[in-house]
A = this chain, B = another copy of it.
Amino acid sequence: MSRQPGRQFLNIPGPTNIPDRVLQAMHRPALDFMTPEFWEVQVECKENLAKILKTEGEIMVYASSGHGSWDAAMTNTCSPGDTVLMCETGRFSESWGEMAEAVGLDVVTLANDWDRAFDPARVEQALREDKERKIRAVCVVHNETSTGMTHDVEAIGRIIRELDHPALLMVDTISSLASMDFRMDEWGVDVAVAGSQKGLMLPVGLGISGVSEKAMKATETATLPRKYFDWNGIKALENGRLRFAGTAPSHLFFAMREGLRMLLEEGLDHVFARHARLAEATRRAVKAWGRGNGPSLFGRDEGALSNSVTAVRMLDGFDADVFRGKALSETNLALGGGLARLSGKVFRIGHLGDLNEPMILGCLATVEMQLKRQGIPHGEGGVDAAVAYLAETR
Contacts and interface: CB of A to CB of B under 8 A. Distances in A.
A5 B354 CA distance: 6
B358 A332 contact: yes
Contacts of A365: 358, 361-362, 364-365, 383, 386-387
A227 interface: no
A265 interface: yes
Interface residues of A, number: 50
A271 B5 CA distance: 9
A2 B360 CA distance: 21
Given A384-B384, A391-B372, A9 B358 contact: yes
A357 interface: yes
Contact of A362 (B4, B262, B361): B361
A227 B362 CA distance: 48
B358 A366 contact: yes
Given A384-B383, A387-B372, A391-B373, A3 B359 contact: no
Nearest to A1: B270
Interface string A333-356: 100000000000000000000111
Interface of A: 1-7, 9, 17, 27, 262, 265-267, 270-271, 274, 330-333, 354-366, 368-370, 372-373, 380-381, 383-384, 386-388, 390-392, 394
19 contacts: A3-B265, A4-B356, A5-B266, A5-B271, A5-B355, A5-B356, A6-B357, A6-B359, A7-B359, A332-B357, A357-B369, A358-B365, A361-B361, A361-B365, A361-B383, A362-B365, A364-B365, A368-B387, A384-B384
